[in-house]
Amino acid sequence: EVQLVQSGGGLVRPGGSLRLSCAASGFTISDKYMSWVRQAPGKGLEWVSVVYSGGNTFYADSVRGRFTVSRDNSKNMLFLQINNLRAEDTAVYYCAREPMMDVWGKGTTVTVSS
């Protein structure tokens, strides 16, 4: 079965860091590009980042310089390193398979609060 299993969310103080994980099964992530999307409480969807199979990465302006997306092809996993967290980063974070974001993880919640 094709699926994405997410982990790594939690409660973090402003300025803190987290690493979100997204484990793929049923397909090989090295063959695909992968995205991260987030959704603040009660708000709409916001695209965060994409990593291409060749390694190129792109980010939303709101996270560039603080967020880093990476892959471990040997473990078939995707990661999002989030640094210098702000209150406005509080959201459910989803990983999704490209192209077309046809497969999504269930999401992991990041709460930034003192």
Which residues are near another protein by CB under 8 A?
A: 37, 44-47, 50, 58-61, 94, 99-102, 104-107
- As measured in angstroms, the least distance from the Cβ of 102 to another protein is 5
The one-letter amino acid at 26:
G
Q: 16 or 107: whose CB is closer to another protein?
A: 107
Q: What are phi and psi of 74, to 5 degrees?
A: -65, -30
Which one, 31 or 99, has the nearer CB to another protein?
A: 99
Question: Among candidates 86, 50, 45, 92, which has minimal Cα distance to 68?
Answer: 50
| CB nearer another protein, residue 59 or residue 79 | 59
Report d(CA 95, CA 34) in Å as an integer: 7
Our CB check for another protein shows the closer of 14 and 52 to be: 52
CB of 59 to another protein, least distance (A): 8
The distance of closest approach from Cβ of residue 100 to another protein in the complex, given in angstroms and rounded to an integer, is 4
Chain-centre distance for alpha carbon 91: 11
| Shortest spacing between CB 7 and another protein, in angstroms | 15
Q: Beta-carbon neighbour count of residue 29 at 10 Å? A: 23
In whole angstroms, what is the distance from residue 8 CA to residue 53 CA?
A: 23
